[in-house]
Structure 1
Amino acid sequence: MAKADPATVEFETRAKNLLKAELKRKGVTYAQLAEKLSAIGVTENERNLNNKISRGGFTAAFLLQCLEAVGVTDLRI
Protein backbone atom coordinates (compact mmCIF):
# COMPACT_ATOMS: atom_id res chain seq x y z
CA MET A 1 0.00 0.00 0.00
CA ALA A 2 1.19 3.47 -0.83
CA LYS A 3 1.71 6.00 1.95
CA ALA A 4 -0.83 8.35 0.32
CA ASP A 5 -3.44 5.59 0.10
CA PRO A 6 -6.50 6.80 2.06
CA ALA A 7 -6.91 3.40 3.72
CA THR A 8 -3.32 3.51 4.96
CA VAL A 9 -3.71 7.04 6.27
CA GLU A 10 -6.97 6.08 8.01
CA PHE A 11 -5.43 3.12 9.82
CA GLU A 12 -2.29 5.04 10.78
CA THR A 13 -4.52 7.69 12.30
CA ARG A 14 -6.52 5.05 14.15
CA ALA A 15 -3.33 3.44 15.50
CA LYS A 16 -1.98 6.81 16.60
CA ASN A 17 -5.23 7.75 18.34
CA LEU A 18 -5.50 4.35 19.99
CA LEU A 19 -1.99 4.61 21.43
CA LYS A 20 -2.50 8.21 22.56
CA ALA A 21 -5.79 7.27 24.24
CA GLU A 22 -4.19 4.38 26.14
CA LEU A 23 -1.31 6.59 27.27
CA LYS A 24 -3.79 9.21 28.47
CA ARG A 25 -5.96 6.58 30.18
CA LYS A 26 -2.90 5.29 32.04
CA GLY A 27 -1.63 8.82 32.77
CA VAL A 28 1.71 8.14 31.06
CA THR A 29 3.76 10.92 29.45
CA TYR A 30 6.19 10.37 26.60
CA ALA A 31 9.09 10.74 29.04
CA GLN A 32 7.59 8.06 31.27
CA LEU A 33 6.90 5.88 28.23
CA ALA A 34 10.57 6.14 27.24
CA GLU A 35 11.55 4.90 30.72
CA LYS A 36 9.03 2.06 30.61
CA LEU A 37 10.16 1.01 27.14
CA SER A 38 13.78 1.05 28.32
CA ALA A 39 12.81 -1.37 31.09
CA ILE A 40 11.71 -3.90 28.45
CA GLY A 41 14.79 -3.32 26.28
CA VAL A 42 13.44 -0.77 23.78
CA THR A 43 15.57 2.34 23.37
CA GLU A 44 13.59 5.49 22.52
CA ASN A 45 13.81 9.01 23.86
CA GLU A 46 10.94 11.39 24.56
CA ARG A 47 11.48 13.43 21.41
CA ASN A 48 11.61 10.37 19.15
CA LEU A 49 8.44 9.01 20.74
CA ASN A 50 6.66 12.31 20.21
CA ASN A 51 7.65 12.38 16.53
CA LYS A 52 6.93 8.71 15.88
CA ILE A 53 3.53 8.75 17.54
CA SER A 54 2.55 12.08 15.94
CA ARG A 55 3.30 10.66 12.47
CA GLY A 56 1.34 7.51 13.23
CA GLY A 57 3.41 5.43 10.81
CA PHE A 58 4.90 3.08 13.39
CA THR A 59 5.04 -0.71 13.27
CA ALA A 60 2.65 -3.11 14.94
CA ALA A 61 5.61 -4.30 17.02
CA PHE A 62 6.18 -0.76 18.33
CA LEU A 63 2.47 -0.43 19.18
CA LEU A 64 2.55 -3.70 21.13
CA GLN A 65 5.77 -2.73 22.90
CA CYS A 66 4.21 0.55 24.04
CA LEU A 67 0.99 -1.10 25.17
CA GLU A 68 2.86 -3.75 27.13
CA ALA A 69 5.22 -1.19 28.66
CA VAL A 70 2.32 0.78 30.13
CA GLY A 71 0.44 -2.30 31.29
CA VAL A 72 -2.44 -2.45 28.83
CA THR A 73 -4.00 -5.90 29.06
CA ASP A 74 -7.32 -5.28 27.33
CA LEU A 75 -7.80 -3.29 24.19
CA ARG A 76 -11.00 -2.15 22.57
CA ILE A 77 -10.73 -1.27 18.93
Structure 2
Amino acid sequence: MSNWDDKAKRLLKSELVKRGITNADLVTLLSEIGVEETKASIDSKISRGSFSATFLLQCLTVVGCHKLEIEDYESQLFMVAEPTEPYKTSKR
Protein backbone atom coordinates (compact mmCIF):
# COMPACT_ATOMS: atom_id res chain seq x y z
CA MET A 1 0.00 0.00 0.00
CA SER A 2 1.35 3.39 -0.89
CA ASN A 3 1.84 6.05 1.73
CA TRP A 4 -0.86 8.13 0.00
CA ASP A 5 -3.34 5.24 0.14
CA ASP A 6 -2.67 4.88 3.87
CA LYS A 7 -3.19 8.59 4.47
CA ALA A 8 -6.49 8.58 2.52
CA LYS A 9 -7.67 5.54 4.47
CA ARG A 10 -6.76 7.12 7.82
CA LEU A 11 -8.45 10.39 6.87
CA LEU A 12 -11.73 8.69 5.96
CA LYS A 13 -11.68 6.36 8.96
CA SER A 14 -10.97 9.22 11.36
CA GLU A 15 -13.89 11.26 10.01
CA LEU A 16 -16.23 8.28 10.44
CA VAL A 17 -15.00 7.65 13.99
CA LYS A 18 -15.31 11.34 14.96
CA ARG A 19 -18.95 11.23 13.99
CA GLY A 20 -19.76 7.78 15.36
CA ILE A 21 -20.62 6.49 11.90
CA THR A 22 -20.05 2.82 11.11
CA ASN A 23 -19.48 1.39 7.65
CA ALA A 24 -23.05 0.03 7.81
CA ASP A 25 -24.30 3.56 8.54
CA LEU A 26 -22.23 4.81 5.61
CA VAL A 27 -24.07 2.41 3.27
CA THR A 28 -27.36 4.06 4.27
CA LEU A 29 -26.03 7.60 4.00
CA LEU A 30 -24.55 6.94 0.55
CA SER A 31 -27.78 5.35 -0.67
CA GLU A 32 -29.59 8.59 0.23
CA ILE A 33 -27.56 10.38 -2.47
CA GLY A 34 -27.98 7.55 -4.98
CA VAL A 35 -24.67 5.76 -4.40
CA GLU A 36 -25.26 2.03 -4.10
CA GLU A 37 -22.58 0.23 -2.08
CA THR A 38 -22.65 -2.79 0.17
CA LYS A 39 -21.06 -2.93 3.60
CA ALA A 40 -18.62 -5.53 2.24
CA SER A 41 -17.57 -3.27 -0.63
CA ILE A 42 -17.05 -0.32 1.72
CA ASP A 43 -15.10 -2.49 4.16
CA SER A 44 -12.87 -3.62 1.30
CA LYS A 45 -12.31 -0.14 -0.15
CA ILE A 46 -11.43 1.39 3.20
CA SER A 47 -9.22 -1.54 4.15
CA ARG A 48 -7.25 -1.21 0.90
CA GLY A 49 -7.21 2.56 1.04
CA SER A 50 -7.08 2.69 -2.75
CA PHE A 51 -10.51 4.13 -3.38
CA SER A 52 -11.31 6.85 -5.90
CA ALA A 53 -11.37 10.54 -5.13
CA THR A 54 -15.05 10.45 -6.07
CA PHE A 55 -15.76 7.84 -3.38
CA LEU A 56 -13.81 9.85 -0.79
CA LEU A 57 -15.75 13.03 -1.65
CA GLN A 58 -19.07 11.19 -1.55
CA CYS A 59 -18.27 9.76 1.88
CA LEU A 60 -17.00 13.03 3.34
CA THR A 61 -20.05 14.87 2.01
CA VAL A 62 -22.63 12.47 3.45
CA VAL A 63 -20.99 12.50 6.89
CA GLY A 64 -20.99 16.30 6.95
CA CYS A 65 -17.32 17.07 6.31
CA HIS A 66 -17.20 19.91 3.82
CA LYS A 67 -13.75 21.37 4.46
CA LEU A 68 -10.31 19.76 4.52
CA GLU A 69 -7.01 21.39 5.30
CA ILE A 70 -3.83 19.59 4.30
CA GLU A 71 -0.58 21.03 5.60
CA ASP A 72 3.14 20.38 5.40
CA TYR A 73 3.64 17.02 3.68
CA GLU A 74 7.31 16.94 4.58
CA SER A 75 6.48 16.57 8.27
CA GLN A 76 3.89 13.77 7.87
CA LEU A 77 1.06 15.48 5.96
CA PHE A 78 -1.12 16.65 8.78
CA MET A 79 -4.76 16.51 7.77
CA VAL A 80 -7.48 18.31 9.60
CA ALA A 81 -11.09 18.05 8.54
CA GLU A 82 -13.71 20.26 10.08
CA PRO A 83 -17.39 20.19 9.22
CA THR A 84 -19.30 23.39 8.58
CA GLU A 85 -22.20 21.97 10.57
CA PRO A 86 -22.37 20.06 13.88
CA TYR A 87 -21.10 16.50 13.86
CA LYS A 88 -23.71 13.84 13.26
CA THR A 89 -23.72 11.73 16.40
CA SER A 90 -26.91 9.74 16.09
CA LYS A 91 -26.75 6.18 14.86
CA ARG A 92 -29.11 5.04 12.15
Whole-angstrom CA distance in 2 between matches of 1:48 and 1:61: 15
**3-state SS in 2 of match to 1:40:** coil
5+ residue gaps, structure 2, are: 70-78, 80-92
Residue from 63, 71, 84 that aligns with 1:70 = 63
5+ residue gaps, structure 1, are: none
TM-score (norm 2): 0.72
Residue-pair matches, total? 70
Which runs of 4 or more aligned residues in structure 1 lie more than 6 Å from their structure 2 counterparts after TM superposition?
A: none
Whole-angstrom CA distance in 1 between matches of 2:25 and 2:68: 20
> 2:51 is aligned with what amino acid?
F
Whole-angstrom CA distance in 2 between matches of 1:53 and 1:14: 11
TM-score (norm 1): 0.85
In angstroms, what is the RMSD of aligned CA positions?
A: 1.1
**3-state SS in 2 of match to 1:16:** helix
